Structure 1
């Protein structure tokens, strides 16, 4: 996405609402012709949706599940929404949104992506983690005849499985290039793998039986924190290079330990200086502002630039990613940036606190 379109919201009309399971739906949004270039997306990217309630703003991110096949940009966008216990937006989506409603939707973001190219690819997903991977695999198989994909998905029961028909359709259309392995944690299947969780030990034993692990060009891990971390450890134990493992975490429990924050000044002292100033560049314009006690750098920027990009504010979605031009910061947690990104100097503004008197961020890089 070009710098000039970062964090830009537009009103998009809901044209279809499909119930996938008892607790999940798919929303189809119409993209006007004059906005299709702005909403051009790479398979695997997500959209932030915002809503104002009692004077406060709620933002949530949802991955695009439809294939990216239109060179001029999409005429529609489809996202999957699963109800989260206590979730303000997901509950609203399931109970109140209707066809014809308008939603405020940010232009696409995210780096959990795959541009179609030849090779063998695989994914391990859990629950709603299927959503971005459905876009990745459907686009890849449609646009690249010399590519194949193995999807290993974990769900509680058949009835709770999102996009069941869409995945089955891919299996029917590409029987020689699409391998599907389903594991249910709370239901026995008549055929296939025994029920149970896909943890590190099980994946370490299972993956070499399913496919040639060393020949996979890219691994895509998506879903709850525990599944993704277990799958990564299994792959590393099998000798897979970290550079070909791509991760996106959908759910992180509050009790989960802090994620590693290596790179970009993570080794700096944890205590903040008495007075700090942040300089931020966004959409080609720069400004400098004092950081108030306890504020994250994103909060400081938002007080002065309401167009600063963010969605989850929890270190998970990566929407607030910025390049650390100068100074040092402490990131509370990071579940979004790859190690090579933090090593290159990128930080999550929502989790970053200054450990030097001057910090400079560039949201446009």
Structure 2
């Protein structure tokens, strides 16, 4: 799981003015490694202007498609996204890490459920995979999507969503919320705020009929929708959240972190079956930064606690974890942490990147 594999880009298609959809050829000997679940993401790696860059992008294909592809939206100041939009061509090779992520729920063909999804902008990319996979895997289930954008021209996967709606007229409902384009229904104008969500749950969506909800977009929208859903009676455990790395908040500055015991911690890292030991000061840098400084190719992408690429399990010892926008409560209870946000507390620490549960 920690390795990058060189994959050939099979196609690059423009979906909107600032978004490309990149497909990869997966050789037969790597098919098992790159088998994915709906809602998972890929971490891409490339050298851009002499800098080693890694970014995570959601897979936007249904599991049944067996077609590995991601959408890359150009972001202001985005070194990787701008490079990809400007230069990626079919035939190029990119280093790609196998699929990761838990932004999904188990599916059962015998179930008849009603799922709700809220997405904004590029937050649609994992939703497309989740929605299409679910409709195919659970013939008795339904999906309602609330999708926020500036205007029709910025709607990513607009044609695919239209085709999907045409294929599942009775099982898929899509509501577009536009912030800069006037629509006939006043409720569908503006941004997806807490007030807007409350109104939708009052007049458009019956939460009693919803089994689970997915939210993907900027932090502000996620917080608003999450609060509205829980206020409406939905259990927290039935709400799945994905925050894109593009929305990473500023990292905390380590200042005066209290040190217990010795100043240094002896860290043992288990990765790909190998054991590596190094020492680091407890209050100066994260586990990830210290490991990289010691020459260990520990996996990471965003370094902001968002993508969970750096997820590992504490086998022995304790850490303080500053920010967490990706791990579920049950994962933390089992000892998983984000190495990019974790600082040693004990004198010795054993972390394992190979464990999945």
1:285 pairs with 2:274 = yes
Residue 63 of structure 1 deviates from its aligned partner by 0.5
CA pair 169-192 structure 1, distance change in 2 beyond 3 A? farther
Residue of structure 1 aligned with 2:88, choices 88, 92, 97: 97
Residue 162 of structure 1 deviates from its aligned partner by 0.5
1:84 pairs with 2:70 = no
Match of 1:108 in 2: 99
Task: State which drifts further: 285-294 or 299-308.
Answer: 299-308
Distance 1:137 1:14 in 2: 25
Q: Deviations over 1:130-185 (max 9, x none)?
A: 00010011111112201111111111111011000111111100011111111001
Match of 1:231 in 2: 225
Consecutive unaligned residues of structure 2, counting only runs of 5 or more, are none
Match of 2:300 in 1: 310
Alignment of 1:1-365 (within 5 A): 6-69=1-64, 74=66, 76-117=67-108, 118=111, 119-190=113-184, 193-250=187-244, 251-252=246-247, 254=249, 270-272=257-259, 273-292=262-281, 294-304=284-294, 306-365=296-355
Secondary structure of the residue aligned to 2:190 is coil
Distance 1:192 1:234 in 2: 20
Distance 1:255 1:36 in 2: 37
8 A contact 2:71–2:125 mirrored in 1: yes
Residue 217 of structure 1 deviates from its aligned partner by 2.3
Residue 301 of structure 1 deviates from its aligned partner by 2.7
8 A contact 2:147–2:175 mirrored in 1: yes
What TM-score do you get using the length of structure 1 for normalisation?
0.89
What TM-score do you get using the length of structure 2 for normalisation?
0.91
CA pair 270-215 structure 1, distance change in 2 beyond 3 A? farther
Q: Deviations over 1:223-249 (max 9, x none)?
A: 111111111111111111111111010
8 A contact 1:270–1:330 mirrored in 2: no
CA pair 253-347 structure 1, distance change in 2 beyond 3 A? closer
Secondary structure of the residue aligned to 1:168 is helix
Cα RMSD (Å): 1.9
Residue 27 of structure 1 deviates from its aligned partner by 0.7
CA pair 270-213 structure 1, distance change in 2 beyond 3 A? farther
Consecutive unaligned residues of structure 1, counting only runs of 5 or more, are 1-5, 259-268
Q: Number of aligned residue pairs: give it.
A: 345
Residue 191 of structure 1 deviates from its aligned partner by 5.1
Residue 309 of structure 1 deviates from its aligned partner by 2.0
8 A contact 2:313–2:336 mirrored in 1: yes
Distance 1:56 1:162 in 2: 29
Q: Deviations over 1:337-364 (max 9, x none)?
A: 1222223321100110112211221212
Secondary structure of the residue aligned to 2:96 is strand
Q: Deviations over 1:67-92 (max 9, x none)?
A: 1116xxx3x31100001111111011
